[in-house]
Each structure stands twice: as structure tokens, then as C-alpha cells.
Amino acid sequence: MRKVTILVLCAGCAAQFQHAAAQAPGSYPNRPIRLVLPAAPGGPVDVIGRTVGTGLAEALRQIIVIDNRAGAGGIIGAEIVARGAPDGYTLMFAHSGPLAIEAAIHPKLPYHPLKDFAPVSLVAASPYALIVSPASPAKSVKELVALAKSRQGKFHFASGGVGTGLHMAGELLNLAAGIKMIHVPYKGAAPSMTALMSGEVDTMFNGVSSALPHVKAGRLRALAVSSAQRSPLFPDLPTVAESGFKYETAGWYGLVAPARTPKAVTTRLQSSLHTALNSPQMKERLLAQGVDGIASTPEQLTRHLRDELDKWTAVVKAAGLKAD
């Protein structure tokens, strides 16, 4: 599914931007920028990407065209950017799916996650919540693990699809706790939560902001968060690691450009992105979505990506996951 949206500062800003570009034809950016979101509208990548895109448009004083390119776990959108012109006018709001998880599952991607992109910055991170139905006897991570062990091969966890961050969070728990929950993929996080509430599956991970309304309404019970630290949205909820398991994961997001994009361009993008992320308004908007804004160097993004590739490659191998 593809959706294109143009983000500008305010009504009538397009004319102002075009006038500024005419005055400085050699400056970057002097025309609209395409920001590819390798995900469908409405999900966390889309919501967070649009929030950050609005701030980046303001910081750059330039139009940003949001282009949703869903499909194949983000591979379709990532390939578009990898093959894009290295001029700073085609960017990707990257996440773990196409740049780490899919790279671990698929031995032959149409791009290389490290060689075909120019890193700009990490942008944000958002933990997952481990949730169960209120009818579940599990009141903690340890009780959930014990329950899964007692029902080995018959204990199911849902996700929004094979290779998604939610899927891999469950596989990582399998590895950390020495259990074998059976994965049941759905077409998105929303139907997987519906399945959990109806009793079709036993547990799942989901974004904290998506899980919170259902937990508050009593439709779901949260057991833990996946990150190293507790979430501000669930301050009383322990981490999985606090239950004694070596476990940490979270959804992460970054900004990348095609490889060989000039350093001056990526530096301008990084500086403007950091300005946007450090604004009080942006921090408040991201926090309301259960997201921590992160402003990093390109080198830090590269190191993070290498670490993610190593981690998910090990999990994929342990879980026996293979490309279709």
C-alpha cells in the first residue's frame, strides 16, 4: 500500500520555500525532499516517521513529501532508497525490519544494509510491552515462562507478521528463557491484539503506546517492557531483564540516505534533525507515543546497525527461520 503526503510548515509555505530556493540555487535543500517510510500507513513507523518528518521540514525550511512504501517487511521501500540518486532528495525513515531483521532472514536482499546506505542519525527508540489476556494465569514474566514450559509446543504468541520486530521480540524471549512458544503471524499488530483478547493466542509483544489503552481499559494485562529501562508510560512495570533473563530489545528508527550522498548533505540533515529532536514540542509529541528521541552521529548509527545485525542473525539461526 502506498500513501503520499506532503509536509510543510504552514499553509502557503510552499511559495516561500520556492522563493528561497530561487535565491540560493546551489544550497541544499533547494527543492522538496522525499522521505520514504517502508511501512503501511497507521503503524508505528508511519506515525513516528510523520512526526519526525514534520519537525525536519521545519528545521530545514523545506517541503518533505512522505511516501509510504509498504511490503516485504520493508524491503520494497529500502530498495527504492538504495537505488535512489545520492543527492539528499530521497531519504528513508529506517527501522530494524529492512535493515537488520530482514537482512538476517534473507541471504540475498536487493541491497546491502551497510554498504548501500549513508547513515545520518538514530532518531528514536520505543520499547515493547509483553502482554497477555486478563484471563491468563500469568501475572509475571517468570509465571509466563513457567506456563510456556508446562505447555511446550502448545503455547502460542502472536505478532504482526513474520520478521517484524514484534515477532523477533518473541523469538528472543524463547532464546533467553529456554522456551518454545509457537509463533502465529497476523496481518498487522491490531489483528494480533484482537486475537490475544479473544483467546486465540496466549501472549505477544506490542508497542507500549499501542498496548497502553487496552491495558488501562482492562482488556489486556501487561507483564513487562522489553527495554533495558522502564518506560515512562509504564513506570511501575518491570523490564523483562528485571525478572532475571538476559533480554533487551526495542523498536528503533533512524534516518539514512543512498550511499555516496555527499558528506555536506548528510551533515546538514543530521544538524537539522538534531534541532528538531531537541525541541520541547518534538520531545513531548514523541513521549506521548511512548518514544524516546535520540540524536546520534552517523558512526553511532552504523555501530548500532552492526550490533542489531549480529543479534538478529543469532536469533534467526536459533529459531530456524528461513526466507520464503
Q: What is the pLDDT of residues 307-323, one digit of tens each?
A: 999 999 989 988 888 76
Is a pLDDT exceeding 60 seen at residue 13? no
What is 2-125+250-319's CATH number? 3.40.190.150
pLDDT of residue 15: 44
Query: Given this chain, do its domains 2-125+250-319 and 128-243 carry the same CATH topology?
Result: yes
* Superfamily of domain 128-243 in the CATH hierarchy: Periplasmic binding protein-like II (3.40.190.10)
With b for 16 or more beta-carbon neighbours within 10 A and e for fewer, the 296-323 pattern comes to bebeebbebbeebbebbeebbeebebee
pLDDT of residue 10: 45
Q: Express as a percent the part of the chain with pLDDT over 90.
A: 69
- Cis geometry, peptide bond prior to residue 38 (ω within 30 degrees of 0): no
Measured distance CA(112)–CA(220) in Å, rounded: 39
Q: What is the H or E stretch that residue 44 is in?
A: helix 44-60
Nearest to 126, CA basis, from 40, 18, 51, 32: 51
Model confidence, pTM: 0.81
pLDDT digits (tens, 9 = 90+) for 232-288: 888 999 999 999 999 999 989 999 999 999 999 999 999 999 999 999 999 999 988
3 state SS of 225: strand
pLDDT of residue 7: 64
Our CA angle for 80, 104, 151, nearest 5°, is 130
**What is the domain partition of the chain in residue ranges?**
2-125+250-319, 128-243
- Nine-digit cell at 278? 531537541
pLDDT of residue 112: 95
- Nine-digit cell at 83? 537505488
Crossing angle for the helix pair 280-288 and 263-277, nearest 10 degrees? 70
Four-CA torsion 112, 77, 193, 132, nearest 10 degrees: 20
- Nine-digit cell at 177? 528463557
C-beta of residue 96 within 8 angstroms of C-beta of residue 207: no
